[in-house]
Amino acid sequence: MTVKNNDRLDESLSFALTLTRAIAIILVTGFHTYRRIGYPTAKIGSFNLYGIFEYGDFGVGLFFLLAGFLAYYSMSKQDYKQFNELAISFYTNRFLRLAPAYYISLFIWYILIENGIAIKSYGLKDIITHIFFIHNLWEDTIYSTSGVFWYLAPLMQMYLITPIIFFVDSKINRVKSYNLVIGIIYVISFLPGYICKDYSNPLFYRSPFVWLPCYLTGILLYKKKNFKPPPSGLLLLILTWLFFVMYRPTILIVNLIIYYLIISNVLGCIIIYSNAYWIKLPCYLKDITVLISNASYSIYLYNYIFASFDIIVDKHLAFVLIFAITVGFGLFMYECIEKPLNNYIKRWMGHN
């Protein structure tokens, strides 16, 4: 029996996802730039204009949340006769979407390192572990080549279990206590983050287990994508997020990882459930958002390109220059490499 799915995303929700991706890459790039120039401050009263860039992991959490949403959407819209067909198709699509541009960026980074332009260590172990997306399993490879590549390892590892999650979910979704079971699983998923607490153990912190709550939040948001929260509920979400960001409750800041996970998830919910408002943005803002979102993967892959240059200017000017160089180079690599690659792969897949 063939299972047919005709699920499609409406325009406003699709743009909300585009906006989520754009915000995520801005937060991540801003954080790396902010750290590169020595954590400057620019205060207006007690408010630090750079404050939002202290929370770079908000962006990472948004990326995982978005990945969960789109992975489940990708699986839900496919027609299949056997579950193994669905799984193979999903793995193939995800690999071909991420790997080609990533492998080219690896090659470029190795050239930069070999010529002393980028200061990083690399060897056979680094190359092999990065090719197979397992570089987050060893401390000496997790940040080698380029520090941002760590994200791709837990992401691909989460993709490995996604078909299993999809299969189990399809079997239990008619159970009376389904919502309770899902709720318990979701709460339990925060346990690794609670145990991890902070950055002191990079192998644990950069594992898929710690970031699984964001991925699951994305899946749940997909399953509840047609839910329309009342304006009062949306306002409560926004106030909750602002409260956590501005005041950092002591009970949570003791556990930095849980803090980041909650902030990322709440922010993702706000953006996606506010989709009816985002679609009303002026056309030029939507065009910029789409441009940044489309190139976000390439911007991320080359997010440390600024490390190849010494910019000796005022810190505030340096922030603007480094941020612009990073985004500009990412846009260039998207147009020259990622976009043509994706178009070629789509044509190739269409002929097979």
Distance, first Cα to last Cα, the chain: 23
**What's the CA gap between 196 and 206, in Å, rounded?**
10
Q: Nearest 5 degrees, angle CA 212-CA 67-CA 198?
A: 35
Q: Residue 39 pLDDT more than 90?
A: no
DSSP alpha helix (H) spans, 55-190: 56-76, 83-114, 124-131, 152-172, 178-188
Res. 1: pLDDT tops 50: no
Cα 223-277-47 angle, rounded to 5 deg: 105
Q: 200-232 burial string, b = 16+ CB within 10 Å, else e? A: eeeebbbbbbbbbbbbbbbbbbbeebeeeeeee
Q: How do the domains of the chain map onto residue ranges?
A: 11-350
Q: pTM above the 0.85 mark? A: yes
The C-alpha angle 191, 56, 136, rounded to 5 degrees, equals: 55
pLDDT in tens, 323-346: 999 999 999 999 999 999 999 998
Q: What percent of the chain has pLDDT over 90?
A: 55
pLDDT at 60 over 90: yes
Mean pLDDT over 295-316 rounds to 85
Query: What is the per-residue pLDDT across 2-29, written as a single tens digit (0 to 9) for each?
Result: 444 556 688 999 999 999 999 999 999 9
DSSP state, 255? S
Residue 38 has pLDDT above 70, yes or no: yes
Q: Which residues contact 43 (CB under 8 A, 6 or more apart)?
A: 49
Instruction: Look at residues 112, 108, 157 and name the one whose alpha carbon lies nearest to residue 132.
Output: 157
